[in-house]
Chain A
Amino acid sequence: MKEPLPFDHRPDALLGESLRRALDPGDAAAFVARVLARAAEARIPSWDAVLARWARPGVAAAVLVALLAGYLVGRATAAPAPRPSVYDALLAPPAHPGEVEIVLASVIGN
């Protein structure tokens, strides 16, 4: 057995072979088959998995569509009446005469 050197760059064949035998797991084919079977299972998604993957973007899209529709419907049904011009305000019969007089007095005062 040779003395170990700190910077021995060559693998030790005897030690390597002994360790290989000691760590040999055996039955490589069964292990490979097991891994490939698991990989195949992982790559075939079930319907549940497909639905679950699409659930979050689906809910987000539905919320977005609902918000947009609500906004459009609300804008169409509750459109504000056109703002009366100063001319219309002055000529229209006053609902509350006292208020119109106050307004006119302040305008004349300016």
Chain B
Amino acid sequence: MADPQPPQQAARIAQQDEADLVVRAAAGDRSAFGVLVERYAGVARRVARAVLGNPEDADDAAQDAMLSALVKLDQYDPRRPFGPWLLRIVANAATDRRRRRTVRRVEPLDAALTAGGPRPDTTAERRALGERLRQALAELPERRRVAVVLFDVEGYSHAEIAAVLGIPEGTVRSEVFHARRRLRALLADWKEEA
């Protein structure tokens, strides 16, 4: 864990430019690396989960990617945004892990989803909707999954997603479009059922 920082110092560090944080992290500054990890932990874990499905595998992949990025920090071009550079490493780490995985582990479905019975409360409804969304995501091609998560959940632009996935911007638009069509249909059905 990073050394505890006073709140003012932590806030000051958080406001600093990411490129500066990267330079300091590459030089061995643990607090700078800690800020980067805190800032990107959420998106890295969500992207990895979009690829892998299983949350434990996703966390392992996200962790591997963060540590790999730490080793490769000297290769990062500070003139470019840090997020897409890191997320490309995350997506690759998740894809590699998925390929290495011999037995696909699937999370058990929520009872409310499989039984189709009455939903006891909002929390259960949300959990069931989450299960259905994750299932719908899993049915999409991997690139499509990552594209829609980066666009609609994380707010990255098409150009940034193109940099993450290594594909043309037009292809990103197409992937987002097709993913949205599938997921929106699922959400619409869910609202009607509710």
Q: B88 on the interface (CB 8 Å rule)? A: no
Q: Tell me the bound Cα distance from A36 to B36 in angstroms.
A: 11
* A16, B63: Cβ atoms closer than 8 Å: no
* B133, A19: Cβ atoms closer than 8 Å: yes
Task: Give the contacting residue for A35; candidates B63, B129, B173; CB below 8 A.
Answer: B63
Q: A93 on the interface (CB 8 Å rule)? A: no
Q: Tell me the bound Cα distance from A20 to B130 in angstroms.
A: 9
Q: Tell me the bound Cα distance from A6 to B184 in angstroms.
A: 14
* B49, A23: Cβ atoms closer than 8 Å: yes
* B153, A23: Cβ atoms closer than 8 Å: yes
Task: Give the contacting residue for A12; candidates B70, B131, B173, B180; CB below 8 A.
Answer: B180
Q: Which of chain B's residues has its CB closest to A21's CB?
A: B130
Inter-chain contact total with CB atoms closer than 8 Å:
111
Q: Tell me the bound Cα distance from A11 to B188 in angstroms.
A: 17
B→A interface (CB under 8 Å): 1-2, 28, 30, 33-34, 37-38, 41-42, 45-46, 49-50, 55, 58-59, 62-63, 66-67, 70-71, 126, 129-131, 133-134, 137, 148-149, 151-153, 155, 158, 173-174, 177, 180-181, 183-184, 187-188, 191
A→B interface (CB under 8 Å): 1, 4-9, 11-12, 14-16, 18-25, 28, 31-40, 42-43
